[in-house]
Amino acid sequence: MRRPASTNTVLLAAALCLASALACGYRLIGYGEEIDGIRTVAILTPSNESYVSGVEYVVADALRREFLRRGAVRLTEDPEAADLVLGGKVRNVHTSGRSFSSVTFSLEFQVEMVLDLEAIGRDGVARPIGTRSMRETEYYLASADVEATRKNRDEAIRRIASLLAQRIHDNLLEASFQ
């Protein structure tokens, strides 16, 4: 039985993409039971040095959700029993106007979040997270309704926290494969 030419083309393209990726040093990473000897992680709620109340809980929740979503390690509430303890502080959350109307009303804002987190192993050795994983900005729209603007800002902060949690998880995982 002969396959249609389009099927053969798709299979050939997929094989070429896979071969190209392998030749460039890329590899598929499957999550096993641990990351570099780490089976359990305790995520401490960071302290909040910013003026935005409750942002530390948003960051902690995003980190916990990301580690649970990936499933590479098990979360524990007890830092003493954990193979890795992730904690630190939310250093700053800064909001500024980015675009303005002709009468100097803000149309769009930018919010920037800076974290200062560290990952400490059971042996007391700090694992590198990477400075790029600790800072991110996001834009959100202003509104004549103050409550809508606040909700837009809160959603932008949640998106930043989620993105930073993904980066932190990835950096911890990448460091274990080097």
Which pLDDT tens digit goes with each residue over 125-135?
888 887 777 99
Q: Is 64 inside any structural domain?
A: yes
Please check whether residue 176 is in contact with residue 38, taking contact to mean a CB–CB distance below 8 angstroms.
Answer: yes
Q: Is 126 inside any structural domain?
A: yes
**Between 103 and 87, residue with greater pLDDT:** 87
* pLDDT given at position 33: 47
Tell the residue number behind the tokens 């694992």, with chain if given: 127
**How many domains is the chain built from?**
1
Q: Is 49 inside any structural domain?
A: yes
Distance CA 60, CA 66 (A): 10
**Backbone φ, ψ for residue 155 (5° rounding):** -70, -40
Q: Is 97 inside any structural domain?
A: yes
Q: Is 22 inside any structural domain?
A: no
Cβ-proximal residues to 162 (8 Å cutoff; 6+ apart), any chain: 62, 65, 66
String of DSSP letters for 38-81? B-EEEEPPPEE-SSSTTHHHHHHHHHHHHHHHH-SSEE-S-TTT
With CA atoms as reference, report the closest residue to 94 among 145, 50, 29, 45. 50
Each residue of 33-43: b (16+ CB within 10 Å) or e? eebeebebbbb
Which pLDDT tens digit goes with each residue over 129-167?
877 779 999 999 888 888 999 999 999 999 999 999 999
Please check whether residue 164 is in contact with residue 115, taking contact to mean a CB–CB distance below 8 angstroms.
Answer: yes
In the chain, DSSP finds a helix count (H) and a strand count (E) of 3, 7
For residue 170, CA distances in Å to 72, 127, 138 come to 11, 13, 20
Q: What's the CATH number where 101 sits? A: 3.30.160.150
Q: Which domain holds residue 70?
A: 33-176
Residue 75's beta-bridge partner residues? 41
Q: Is 143 inside any structural domain?
A: yes
Q: Is 94 inside any structural domain?
A: yes
Tokens of 20: 């190209």
Q: Is 4 inside any structural domain?
A: no
* pLDDT given at position 102: 73
What percent of the chain is predicted at pLDDT more than 90? Answer: 51
Tell me the average pLDDT across 13-33.
65
Q: Categorize the per-residue pLDDT at 65 as very low, low, confident or very high, splitting at 50, 70 and 90.
A: very high
Q: Categorize the per-residue pLDDT at 12 as very low, low, confident or very high, splitting at 50, 70 and 90.
A: confident
How confident is the prediction for the chain on average, in pLDDT?
Answer: 85
